[in-house]
Amino acid sequence: MKININNIIPEEKINDLKELKPSREKINDVLNKALTLQGLSMEEAAVLLNIEDDETLNQLFKAAKTVKEKIYGKRIVLFSPLYVSNYCTNNCLYCAFRQANKDIKRRKLNVDEVIEEARSIINMGHKRILLVAGEDMTQVNLDYIEEIIRKIYELKIMKGEVRRININIAPLSIEDFKRLKTFNIGTYQSFQETYNHETYKAMHPSGLKANYEYRVETMDRAFQAGLNDVGVGVLYGLTDYRFEVLAQLAHAEYLDKTYGTGPHTISMPRIEPAKGSEIADQPPHAVSDIEFKKIVAVLRLAVPYTGLILTTRERAEFRKEVLELGVSQMSAGSKTNPGGYHEEDSTEQFQIGDHRGLDEVIRELSETGYLPSFCTSCYRLGRVGKDFMDYAKPGLIQKFCQPNAILTFKEYLEDYASEETQIAGQKCIEQHIAEIPDERVKEKLNRQLEKVHNGERDIYI
């Protein structure tokens, strides 16, 4: 199928829209629409992107917080990345793994080493892994991916196991995506990095990734292969963030219209320092903290049912501020070098900003009113793609997601938490149970919690 890229990313239109300076009245109209949870068009989102005065910014943040809480409650889903290889045939100027960087220690984990890493992640208490690899199909091919995924799912350590493997590897052909789908993966992620043609060309001088169109069409190939659970992203700092947010929304809108469902998640990495990269040390369009918060808030209002992912690239204190604006998933306890959960002898992809272990992150979440969740039940009950979107409506979330989050958090507390975190976590669970309005749901949940306490695992409603 021949795709016209301009239909997906109308660059000229976006360039005009990003300069929009709307009236106060127009901003209020858009915020009011967003509060009805219908989402926003790219044109409406543009109205919010140039807000600068503190008062209106606070209004924007408040609206984002309201929408987030209506849809997701206080739940935050946790995961950790597992880097399996830092070999790469591309040359993204911002990344330590790029082929031309001769100054790094290359490493691809063999199957046993991958399992050892997965073991460490399970022993932290995680149930979700994001498999990540540099783009070199001679190192990381589908046979290897198939084998490691199968072996990770087979791994059982005491009461621990991985229940969902998301994956961020090189874009594939339709045929290969069809094969990937048979591996029982969760979300397939690939980030466009930048939607600006010229910047894209400058940042990706060689390798398969140099082809802008092939990269944009990645999700078309994935959907056409039957994968309907995909994650997209922009690497913020390469070009004007207002352009990127609008282009990201245009892409999401296009996927929704063409395939009946938009992306399941959006990631918003900001460029961090990376070994041997000048661009990463001094990004050409560095995004400030306040701009980053605006990006999160606008995305939350524009695509309210799409998961927003925040990684350990961001500093611990700042993560706290951003969480409330719309984030639904975050990584914790992460390493970005292959083998990093065991030793430090390979180069990491970029510097991370939050070095805390999972236990500490969980404790802070519990103490600040959030509900840490390790839930994977939707996917395992087949509620993905459009089904998931239909499901992610406030009433149903209260009925299923909240209790399931509590059950998986209880598992974590029983099996992995330090004493201090157990106390904070138990209190957190009690507070969230008290907020469940339906007495029958509450009763059922209490019975299930008792079962978890008595050693049963993987129970969901």
Comparing CA positions, the residue from 277, 268, 278 lying closest to residue 96 is 277
Sign of CA dihedral 460, 368, 356, 315: positive
Does 135 contact ligand SAM by CB under 6 A?
yes
**Looking at beta carbons only, is 228 or 349 nearer to ligand SF4?**
349
Interacting partner of 264 out of ligand SF4, ligand SAM, none (Cβ under 5 to 8 A depending on kind): none
Q: Strand pairing of 265-267 and 230-233? A: parallel
Please state the separation of Cα 306 from the chain's center in Å: 10
CB of 365 to ligand SF4, least distance (A): 29
Cα-based distances in Å from 419 to 124, 178, 423? 15, 46, 6
d(CA 200, CA 128): 31
Please answer whether residues 264 and 388 qualify as being in contact, where contact means their C-beta atoms are separated by less than 8 angstroms: yes
Interacting partner of 98 out of ligand SF4, ligand SAM, none (Cβ under 5 to 8 A depending on kind): ligand SF4
Stretch 287-326 residues interacting with ligand SAM (CB under 6 A): 313
Does 209 contact ligand SF4 by CB under 6 A?
yes
Comparing CA positions, the residue from 57, 94, 49, 13 lying closest to residue 245 is 49
Stretch 349-368 residues interacting with ligand SF4 (CB under 6 A): none
Does 106 contact ligand SF4 by CB under 6 A?
no
DSSP state of 333: S
d(CA 173, CA 176): 5
Among positions 44, 117, 135, 272, the unique one binding ligand SF4 when judged by CB under 6 A:
135
Among positions 306, 349, 408, 421, the unique one binding ligand SAM when judged by CB under 6 A:
349
Binding flags for ligand SAM, 184-223, as an x/- string (CB under 6 A): ------xx-x------------------------------
Stretch 251-270 residues interacting with ligand SAM (CB under 6 A): 269
Local structure of 382: helix, strand or coil: coil
**Looking at beta carbons only, is 107 or 432 nearer to ligand SF4?**
107
DSSP state of 209: G
d(CA 178, CA 182): 7
Interacting partner of 274 out of ligand SF4, ligand SAM, none (Cβ under 5 to 8 A depending on kind): ligand SAM
CB of 94 to ligand SAM, least distance (A): 5
Please state the separation of Cα 16 from the chain's center in Å: 29
Span near ligand SF4 by CB under 6 A; candidates 92-100, 157-165, 327-335, 367-375? 92-100
d(CA 47, CA 298): 10
Interacting partner of 411 out of ligand SAM, ligand SF4, none (Cβ under 5 to 8 A depending on kind): none
The torsion angles phi and psi of 324, rounded to 5 degrees, stand at -70, -15
Interacting partner of 305 out of ligand SAM, ligand SF4, none (Cβ under 5 to 8 A depending on kind): none
Does 274 contact ligand SAM by CB under 6 A?
yes
324 token code pair? 């409330």
Local structure of 161: helix, strand or coil: strand
Does 79 contact ligand SAM by CB under 6 A?
no
Site of interaction with ligand SAM (CB under 6 A): 94-95, 132, 134-135, 168, 170, 190-191, 193, 235, 269, 271-272, 274, 280, 313, 349-350
Residues that bind ligand SF4 (CB under 6 A): 88, 90, 92, 95, 97-98, 134-135, 209
